[in-house]
Amino acid sequence: MVSDVLPCYLVCDVSLSMTDHLGEVNAGLREFRGAVHADPSVAALTRVCVVGFAAAATVLQPLRPAAELTELDASRPRAGTNFGPAFALLRETISDDVRALEADRLRVHRPVVFFASDGRPTDRSAWPAAFAALADPDWPSRPTVVAYGLGAVDRDTLDRIGTSRVFLGQDGIRLGTALAVSMTRTARRTDRV
C-alpha cells in the first residue's frame, strides 16, 4: 500500500520588525498542531518543515509529522528581512524532500508553503526572481503559497506572494486558524506532484 504525504513548509519571518508578533506566531503553531491532531486523516498525511528567515534563511525543523511541530525561539530576533534567501532555500529544500519521499515510495501531494511576515522585505529588488523560481509553473514540485500578514503589513507584497490566498491578522484572522484551514482544505484534495 502506498502512503500519501502532504509536505507543508512554515516560513516565518524572525526579523526585528516581527519581535512583537513572534508570540502570536508560536500561539498559531500550537493551535495548528492541535487542529491537525484532532483530525486523524490530516495528521496521517501532513509533514511539516519550519524555515526561519531574517537577513539569511535557515531550516529550523526538517520535514516531520505535524505532531512534532516545535515553536520558534522568540528570544533572538535578527536584523534584515530578506525574502529572496527564504524562497531560494525553500526551492532547494522542497526538491530534496520530494526526492527523498518519493525514494521511500510515498505518494507526494503538491507542497503547501505558509509564509508569515509583515511583508516588508529589505531585499526589494532581489526577492522577486527567487520567488519566480519557487512558483515556476514548469516545476513539478511548485508549491501552493498562502501568505499571512502580521502587524502593519505591506499588502501589495503579500498579494504577490500568496498564490493561493492571503490572510491578514489585522482582519481578526488568527494565524493558527488560517494555517489549519489552508492545510485541511488541501489535505482533502488529491493534487499530487
> Is 135 within the bounds of a domain?
yes
Q: Check whether 85 has a pLDDT greater than 70.
A: yes
H-run or E-run covering 41? helix 40-45
Q: Tell me the sheet residues that pair with 6.
A: 46
- What is the CATH classification number for the domain harbouring 106? 3.40.50.410
Task: Tell me which residue of 140, 147, 138 sits closest to 108, measured CA to CA.
Answer: 140
> Is 193 within the bounds of a domain?
no
Say if residues 83 and 130 touch (Cβ distance below 8 Å).
yes
Better-predicted residue by pLDDT, 186 or 146: 146
Q: Tell me the sheet residues that pair with 117.
A: 149
The per-residue pLDDT for 88 is: 97
> Is 140 within the bounds of a domain?
yes
Q: Summarize pLDDT for 114-131 with one digit per residue, the tens.
A: 999 987 899 988 899 999
> Is 182 within the bounds of a domain?
yes
C-alpha cell at 21: 508578533
Indicate the pTM of the whole model.
Answer: 0.92
User: How many domains, in total, are found in the chain?
Assistant: 1
106: amino acid identity, one letter: L
pLDDT confidence bin for 57, thresholds 50/70/90: very high
Give the residue-averaged pLDDT of 86-94: 97
Boundaries of domain holding 73: 4-187
Residue 55 DSSP SS3? coil
96 Cβ neighbours under 8 A, 6+ residues apart? none
Better-predicted residue by pLDDT, 173 or 84: 84
> Is 126 within the bounds of a domain?
yes
Residue 172 falls in which region: left (phi positive, over 0), alpha (psi -120 to 50) or beta: left
